[in-house]
C-alpha cells in the first residue's frame, strides 16, 4: 500500500522534477539483482528533499550510470559531469519508464532510520 502511494506521488513529480517533495525520503529498488525492467534495464531511485539520485544500468553487464538531480539549484549531473536539457529529458524518461513498468512485487522501499 505504501509503495503504491509513493509510485503515484513520484510519477506526478516526474512531470516537473523541480518540485520539492519533503514528505518522502528513501530509495525504491529491485528486491534482488536478477530482476529487471521489460527492456532488460535496472533502476534504483533515491529521493531526499528535492534531491533525486537515479542509478541506471541499460542491460546486464553494462556499467552503471548515476544521474544526480538537485531541484534546489536545478542542476543535473550524469556520472559527476554537468548535464543539460537533453540529459534531464533522458533522466525523466528513465524514471518514468521505471515507474510505469516495474512490478510492485519486484521492488522494495528502503527508508532511512528515524532520527531520535
pLDDT of the residue at 71:
84
CA atoms within 13 A on the CB side of 70: 6
In a domain, 67, yes or no: yes
> Phi first, then psi: what are they for 13, rounded to 5°?
-70, -30
pLDDT of residue 72: 84
In a domain, 115, yes or no: no
Q: Report the pLDDT value the prediction gives residue 3, as an integer from 0 to 100.
A: 47
pLDDT of residue 57: 97
Q: Residue 74 in contact with residue 18, Cβ under 8 Å?
A: yes
* Amino acid 74: pLDDT: 86
The total domain count for the chain is 1
User: What residue ranges of the chain have pLDDT lower than 50?
Assistant: 1-3, 18-20
In a domain, 74, yes or no: yes
Is 90 part of a structural domain of the chain?
A: yes
Q: Identify the pLDDT of residue 68.
A: 96
What residue numbers bound the domain in which 48 lies? 2-110
Per-residue confidence (pLDDT) for residue 49, from 0 to 100: 82
Q: Classify residue 77: in a domain, yes or no.
A: yes
Amino acid at each position: 500500500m505504501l509503495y503504491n502511494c509513493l509510485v503515484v506521488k513520484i510519477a506526478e513529480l516526474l512531470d516537473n522534477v523541480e518540485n520539492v517533495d519533503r514528505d518522502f525520503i528513501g530509495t525504491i529498488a529491485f528486491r534482488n539483482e536478477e530482476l529487471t525492467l521489460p527492456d532488460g534495464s535496472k533502476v534504483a531511485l533515491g529521493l531526499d528533499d528535492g534531491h533525486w539520485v537515479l542509478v541506471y544500468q541499460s542491460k546486464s553487464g553494462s556499467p552503471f550510470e548515476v544521474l544526480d538531480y538537485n531541484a534546489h539549484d536545478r542542476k543535473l549531473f550524469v556520472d559527476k559531469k554537468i548535464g543539460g536539457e537533453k540529459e534531464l529529458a533522458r533522466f525523466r524518461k528513465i524514471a518514468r519508464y521505471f515507474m510505469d513498468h516495474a512490478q510492485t512485487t519486484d521492488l522494495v522501499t528502503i527508508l532511512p532510520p528515524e532520527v531520535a
